[in-house]
Amino acid sequence: MAAGFSTFDNRKIQYIMFEKKDKKPAESKPKLTSLAELGEFGLIDRLTRNVKLHHPETLKGIGDDAAVIDAGASVLLLSTDLLVEGIHFDLTYMPFRHLGYKAAVVNISDIAAMNGVPKQMTVSLAVSSKFSAEALDELYAGVIMACEKYKVDLVGGDTSSNVKGLVISVSIIGEAKKDEIVYRSGARSGDLLCVTGDLGSAYIGLLILEREKSVFQVNPDMQPELSGFDYQIGRQLRPEARTEIRNLLFGIGIKPTSMIDISDGLASEILHICKQSGVGCKLFEGKIPIDEHTREIAKEYKIIPSVAALSGGEDYELLFTVRQEDYEKIKDIAGITIIGHMTAPSEGKYMITPDGKSIPVTAQGWDGMRGK
């Protein structure tokens, strides 16, 4: 840089390009808001606050697991996800094939959360020169494995060079009949709060992997001690999307009133449903399904098992609500647990402990913008 020059004043550029000619640029610098202060969801709210929909075919835009587009007799579901090296995955212990599989599955899970059927997918990469073609072969092998399992067509994507690391962007298209779609916004006071599978194991798997990474960094001759943790590590490195739940519920005559997949932790997802539906909730801590081995490992890490379920994330189970009158239909279905119910918004959002204490439900899950 030549002496006497500094970086451009971007306010002047913005003034020239966007502001009226007769206005003068503001002289004082406005106070800037840090991304850590906003957090991921606060940033999304801020960036999209002025978004307007222009086409009647757009039935649902921002604010759910997927956008919903009217396609005549059916609707199209559109979702996208971004995975960044060092933020969303660590190649120290994440094999490329597992990474590709997971990148596909987390998008397929979004379609499952809308009660739809995943159909087509695109995968785009921004990759630095430190990676070999063989490494990317493995990544795509994982994507293709997921597409084969879930009957999704890989139909395109893009590639670009990257200064540092690896960025993966996946977009997916799903389909459903109009009367089959389930939004986050349909829950009503009195609805039962249900969840598939068990929670917290993916987070515990991450803790195990991080522990072994720390040992390896201190002594590269030490091989990781991972035996006996197959389930927890598998839940972290190779999650599955619960696409079968759609047909299971159809089979017993139930359509959820609201639904979301659990990517950021049970607490965060409950609050999304509460916000979008305008309701409160009562969650019973003792009802949260947690694998017994996961429970034992959590205690060894001095973590309350329910906290791993509430805040850990990456389980990719489905959280949904059903009407109270569906209780008899769903109460004995294997793999589905009733963990609470929705309330009037004035009753707040609380978790009830086994000893009867009420604790406010707060979202303390992982947040990429806050780095935690």
Domain boundaries, the chain: 36-179, 192-360
- What's the pLDDT at 1? 47
CATH topology match: 36-179 vs 192-360: no
> What pTM did the predictor assign?
0.86
Q: What is the dotted CATH code of the domain comprising 192-360?
A: 3.90.650.10
**Residue-level pLDDT at 42:** 72
Band (239; pLDDT cuts 50, 70, 90)? very high
Place of tokens 């030490």: 222
Instruction: Write the CB contacts of 309 (distance below 8 Å, at least 6 apart in sequence).
Output: 199, 200, 265, 266, 288, 290, 315
Work out the pLDDT band at 49, boundaries 50, 70, 90: confident
Say how far apart CA 226 and CA 204 lie, in whole Å.
12
pLDDT of 25 above 60:
no
Q: Give 274-290 pLDDT, tens digit per residue.
A: 999 999 999 999 999 99
At residue 294, φ and ψ (nearest 5 deg) are -60, -40
Q: What is the pLDDT of residues 287-337, one digit of tens each?
A: 999 999 999 999 999 999 999 999 999 999 999 999 999 999 999 999 999
User: In the sheet that 358-360 helps form, which strands lie side by side, from edge to edge?
Assistant: 258-261, 318-322, 192-196, 336-343, 280-284, 349-352, 358-360
What would you report as the CA-atom Rg of the chain, rounded to the nearest whole angstrom? 23
CATH superfamily of 36-179: PurM-like, N-terminal domain (3.30.1330.10)
Q: Residues 227, 96: contact at Cβ < 8 Å? A: no
Residue type present at position 23: K
Mean pLDDT value across the chain: 90
What pLDDT score does 369 carry?
Answer: 45
Give the pLDDT band of residue 221 (cuts 50, 70, 90).
Answer: low
User: 52-96: per-residue pLDDT in tens?
Assistant: 878 888 898 888 899 999 999 899 999 999 999 999 999 999 999
> Rounded distance, CA 11 to CA 118, Å?
44
CA 170 to CA 82: how far, in whole Å?
A: 7
Whether 48 shows a pLDDT value over 80: the answer reads: no
- Predicted local distance difference test score (pLDDT) of residue 366: 45
Q: What are phi and psi of 272, to 5 degrees?
A: -60, -45
